[in-house]
Amino acid sequence: MLKVEKRMERRRKVLVDKCSELGLDVVGSDPWHKPNPWEFLVNKKYHIIWCNVFKAASSSWMFNFNILAGYSPEFLHKTKEIFLHLARVRYPRVTLEELKQAQNDSITFIIARHPFERLLSAYRDKFMFAVPHSFHDKLGRKIIRTYRRKGFDNHAPKHPTFPEFIRWLLDQVKQGNYLDMHFVASTRFCTPCLINFDIIMKFETLEEDQLYLIEKTGLKRVIAPEWRNMGKGKNTLELLLQFFSQLTRRELDGLYDYYRYDFELFDYSVASYYNIAKPNEIKIPEAAAIALGKVSASTKVKA
Domains contained in the chain, number: 1
Q: Looking at the domain assignment, is residue 97 inside a domain?
A: yes
Q: Looking at the domain assignment, is residue 92 inside a domain?
A: yes
Q: Helix (H, G, I), strand (E, B), or coil: what is residue 41?
A: strand
Q: Looking at the domain assignment, is residue 136 inside a domain?
A: yes
Q: Looking at the domain assignment, is residue 288 inside a domain?
A: no
Given a contact cutoff of 8 angstroms between Cβ atoms, the answer to whether 83 and 59 are in contact is yes
Phi, psi of 43 (to 5 degrees): -105, 105
pLDDT in tens, the chain (303 residues): 899 999 999 999 999 999 999 999 999 999 899 999 999 999 999 999 999 999 999 999 999 999 999 999 999 999 999 999 999 999 999 999 999 999 999 999 999 999 999 999 999 999 999 999 999 999 999 999 999 987 676 778 999 999 999 999 999 999 999 899 999 999 999 999 999 999 999 999 999 999 999 999 999 999 976 554 444 445 888 999 999 999 999 999 999 999 999 999 999 999 999 999 998 744 556 566 666 664 444 443 443
Distances (CA, A) of 107 to 173, 181, 189, 262: 33, 24, 19, 22
Q: Looking at the domain assignment, is residue 194 inside a domain?
A: yes
Q: Looking at the domain assignment, is residue 55 inside a domain?
A: yes
Q: Helix (H, G, I), strand (E, B), or coil: what is residue 51?
A: strand
Q: Looking at the domain assignment, is residue 302 inside a domain?
A: no
Q: Looking at the domain assignment, is residue 83 inside a domain?
A: yes
Domain span holding position 236: 1-275
